[in-house]
A and B are shown apart, each in its own frame.
Chain A
Amino acid sequence: DQQVKQNSPSLSVQEGRISILNCDYTNSMFDYFLWYKKYPAEGPTFLISISSIKDKNEDGRFTVFLNKSAKHLSLHIVPSQPGDSAVYFCAASEASGTYKYIFGTGTRLKVLA
């Protein structure tokens, strides 16, 4: 059972435009959410996170929105740059236990110059 879902395997966006990556989750115990970016042959790197007490968190060009009632979060990248081309993973964790991350399957973003 996939608790974190990224239904779009790929996305192409023109440079300078907005990229919107979506993520849905099913476990209501998740209270902390993260986005990681992964380039080929490298490990994932942390991008941005959000706690369930917030509905928005911004860091430069990156904003994460959380809609708890819909169990949905999204990552907005504005403006998109060619260097943003990578696979983006959504992850979630529960308040209790080991804080392990449950990852989605990833969305491959391609920013076209």
Chain B
Amino acid sequence: GAGVSQSPSNKVTEKGKDVELRCDPISGHTALYWYRQRLGQGLEFLIYFQGNSAPDKSGLPSDRFSAERTGESVSTLTIQRTQQEDSAVYLCASSSSGRYNEQFFGPGTRLTVL
């Protein structure tokens, strides 16, 4: 079935480089979320999209982080000038609109900043 997919599955980069992470949500899902999970911690909300707009960016940890969504579909999360503390698994989730529609998660991108 066509679940949420993310690419790459793993990314190793050097400190100071920019990285781009991609999320393909389930077709027709208007809501899209980015979370991250650092080692030994829970999932931390980053940003929410409704359609192509991002009404909630409150979880982005710094201005080095940005995200966009186009065509009410694909989303990319960009981290500029990566730091070692950015190392984490970045998870994308999508859902239908509505209060009680569950979020479906992708497998995540494991980012390692050396």
Chain A residues within CB distance 8 Å of chain B: 4, 6, 32, 34, 36, 41-46, 49, 51, 89, 91, 95, 97-106
Question: Among B14-22, B61-69, B75-83, B97-105, which stretch is in contact with chain A?
Answer: B97-105
In the complex, which range does the number of interface residues on chain B fall in?
20 to 34
Residues in B81-114 with C-beta less than 8 Å from chain A: 91, 93, 99-100, 102-108
- Mask, B18-58, CB within 8 Å of A = 1, is 00000000000001010100001111110010100001100
Chain A nearest CB, measured from B36 CB (Å) = 11
A44 near B99 with CB under 8 A, answer: no
Cα of A101 to Cα of B59 in the assembled complex, Å: 11
Chain A nearest CB, measured from B71 CB (Å) = 20
Cα of A95 to Cα of B41 in the assembled complex, Å: 25
Contact of B56 among A45, A46, A98, A105 (CB under 8 A): A98
Chain A nearest CB, measured from B94 CB (Å) = 11
